[in-house]
Amino acid sequence: MGAPVARAPALVGIALLVLEIGAAGAQVKLLPTEEAFRFSARALDARTVEASFAVADGYYLYRDKLRFSATPPEVSLGPVALPAGKVKEDQFFGKVETYRDRVVVRLPLDHAAAGQAVTVRAESQGCADAGVCYPPNAQSVTVTLPQAGAPPGPLIDANPPRKRWFN
């Protein structure tokens, strides 16, 4: 007897939940640029920093808009080999390469010393599939170069994710 009575509100609840999800899907919620394109870096050894972007699902970065620099100025970056991107045919920009999901770039450092703190700055520009683009944005991470033979340093986020209770 009790079961069917309890089932009715449960069904209403589920129906509303489905409506809820449907409404949320119809209204695209866009991430701020630092959350859409999370920059992080770690020191691999005294001469190499590994920079990476975690690109949120539904977002992409332009390969040719990616720029790296390092400070202090005496620590100059050697030639950076950007990985190949996914070719996208753009109505205005022609064939452009884009990065989705994750892109990892090795940055060779000249004149760097073990134990030194180096700030790596990445300039990037990207868009969301929802039909918006973000202006060029710079994010920085400071890493400490490990001693010779020591393991790589920890991965450091440029913008550590914040806990969100309501979203």
Partner 1 sequence: MNEESPRPPRGRRWLAYAVAALVALGLGVYAFRLLPDPAPGSRDSGPLLAVSLPDVDGHPQSLSQWRGRLLVVNFWATWCAPCKEEMPMFVEAQSAHGAKGLQFVGIAVDDAVKVRQFAKEIGLNYPALIGGYGAMELSKTLGNTVMALPFTIVIDPKGKVVLTQLGPVRPAQLERLVADFL
Task: Examine residue 2 and tell whether it contacts partner 1 (CB under 8 A).
Answer: yes
Residue 28 lies near partner 1 (rule: CB under 8 A): yes
**Other Cβ atoms within 10 Å of 95 Cβ, number:** 8
56 is a site residue for partner 1 (CB under 8 A): no
Q: Which segments of the chain does DSSP mark as H helices, in order? A: 2-26, 33-36
CA pair distance 165, 51, nearest whole angstrom: 30
DSSP-derived letter for residue 65 is G
40/98 with CB nearer partner 1: 98
> Any contact of residue 159 with partner 1 (CB under 8 A)?
no
Residue with tokens 């050894």: 45
Q: Which helix (H) or strand (E) holds 107?
A: strand 102-110
> Residue 9 or residue 73: which is nearer to partner 1 going by CB?
9
9 binds partner 1 (CB under 8 A): yes
User: Looking at 46-54, 84-92, 101-109, 155-163, which segment touches partner 1 (CB under 8 A)?
Assistant: 84-92
Q: How far is CA 132 from CA 62, 78, 125, in A?
A: 14, 33, 12
What letter would DSSP give residue 33?
H
State residue 66 phi and psi, 5-degree precision.
-85, 125
Interface residue with partner 1 among 78, 83, 115, 136 (CB under 8 A) is 136
Distance CA 105, CA 51 (A): 5
Nearer to partner 1, 77 or 128 (CB): 128
The verdict on 114 binding partner 1 (CB under 8 A) reads no
Min dist CB 95 to partner 1, Å, is: 13
**Interacting residue with partner 1 among 87, 104, 117, 133 (CB under 8 A):** 133
Residues that bind partner 1 (CB under 8 A): 2, 6, 9-10, 12-13, 16-17, 19-20, 23, 28, 30-33, 65, 90-93, 125, 127-128, 130-136
